[in-house]
Amino acid sequence: MKKISFIILVSLFMTSWSQGQDKKYSYGEHELNFFTGMFDFSDKGKRSGIFGLQHQNESLFRDSFLGTISPVSGVMITVDNASYIYTGIQAQYKLGKINFVPSFTPGYYREGDGKDLGHPIEFKSELQMSLDIFKDSEVGFSYNHLSNASLGDKNPGANSYMINFLKSF
């Protein structure tokens, strides 16, 4: 049942992506999100510092029944040399100077000396809140959860939080 729900959710996102309207925003073409924080803060034995970079091509924004969505890609690396490279979609909801950005990004996880998440394919669900500080810059806070959706023999997951600096250019 979980797999069927996942397939339906991905299909809805892809359908809304392909049927989106023209661009809504006229930002710079690219946005970079630099972040740092704590990987798997809820596991005292395997928590680790984390840093990363995420790219978003803002010219690919589309309006849909889910809100304004766009593709994102990025990489995050822990102090224990675990890494996660991903690509997926995010939605953006602006409330004045505050931005609420949920995202879903499947990707490839490499354990390094860090936590064994049970499978190389992991799915990251994230919530980010940011504040416009300048015309082309934001600061924010995000929380994410990595899970392999029971693709592996085990699925311990990892919960992380980050401080974000976003810059459009």
Predicted model pTM? 0.80
DSSP string, the chain: -HHHHHHHHHHHHHHHHHT--S------SEEEEEEEEEETTT-TTT-EEEEEEEEEEGGG-EEETTEEEEEEEEEEEETTS-EEEEEEEEEEEEETTEEEEEEEEEEEEE-TTS---SSSEEEEEEEEEEEEEETTEEEEEEEEEEE-TT-SS----EEEEEEEEEEE-
Kindly list the domain boundaries of the chain, sorted by start residue.
2-168
Residue 25 confidence (pLDDT): 44
Name the CATH code of domain 2-168 (choices 3.30.420.40, 3.40.50.150, 2.40.160.20, 3.30.365.10).
2.40.160.20
- Low-confidence residues of the chain: pLDDT under 50: 1, 4-5, 7-9, 11-26
Q: Would you state the pLDDT for residue 28? A: 65
In the prediction, which pLDDT does 60 show?
82
